[in-house]
Amino acid sequence: MNNPGKRLRELIDAPEILVMPGIYDGYSARMVKKYGFPAGFLTGGGISEARLGQPDIGLMGMEENLATCRAMVACCDLPMIADGDTGYGNAVNVHHMVRAFEQAGVGGVMIEDQVWPKRCGHMKGKEVISAEEMVQKIRAGAQARRNPDFIIKSRTDSYGTHGLAEAIRRLNLYAQAGADLLFADAVLREEDIATLVREVTKPVSVNMGFGIRQRSTTPLISARRLQDLGVAAVIYPRLLTSAAIQGMINGMNALCASLGRDEIVERPDLAVSFEDLNALVGFDEAQSLEQQFLTEETLNRKYGPAR
């Protein structure tokens, strides 16, 4: 029986750090699977920006997020943690949100303590609700899950607004309320990550960039070093979205440079082949199903007698 929550728990509890690239569409889900990662993080920011073309400032509603998560679960058998933002309301809303994401087939969901409308954790202008209100949200979410293995990941943004001690206090309260995995976003120093790991009572997840450090965000730390610090899981939510945008920029620059020229410009370094794209999204699986279920007459009409 498929139990993505149980699979995630085993990976979180394992000695090796769990590395989860961010997933935001079918391509990224298939890519994370292709490269052998055992799990993925469904990045709310990436889904909002790719689906709506709008910044991660609370413009995407639950149903839009949920629809994308359902599609990702359908196309890829990786266990995934979804991004439930603030739960889209109060503790009662969180109860129904957890039920909906569990029903969608993800293995867990993250809930954060920002004031709605929330924003990306590395943006300025964040506000947090009271710890007491967030505790009730976590309690409601933990009680709502039908499968006790379903992961409740609690995120606090209080590090940037109130400091490290308050982030630790809040995460311990959230752990007591039923959270399984703890996350303080936008921590600015490696030593603060180490302190947080020592002082909280449940496994810790961190958010990491890749390739370039932006100002006023978490410093780049290798997964191996994070493991040495005692971190249980690391997510790379912006890696594939940023890489995809850079790829599109390169492609558009090449196209613009070719306009007005008579010669054909071939740049295989800028794009995967049609065959590789089809392989990534599982076209071979579709053809195998055709061979298994379509009538001989239909197959002959589509492909000819010699197949």
Residue-wise pLDDT tens digits, 16-66? 999 999 999 999 999 999 999 999 999 999 999 999 999 988 899 999 999
Model pLDDT, residue 88: 96
Same domain, 212 and 295: no
Residue 154 in any domain: the answer is: yes
Distances (CA, A) of 20 to 130, 249, 275: 29, 25, 27
Residue 214 has pLDDT above 70, yes or no: no
- Mark 34-73 as b/e (b = at least 16 C-beta within 10 Å): eeebbbbbbbbbbbbbbeeeeebebebebeebbebbbebb
pTM of the full structure: 0.93
Helix or strand (DSSP H, E) at 206: strand 204-207
CATH of residue 142? 3.20.20.60
Question: Residue 294's domain spans which residues?
Answer: 272-303
Residue 161 in any domain: the answer is: yes
Q: Please tell me the distance from the alpha carbon of residue 249 to that of residue 254, in angstroms, as a whole number.
A: 9
Same domain, 13 and 93: yes
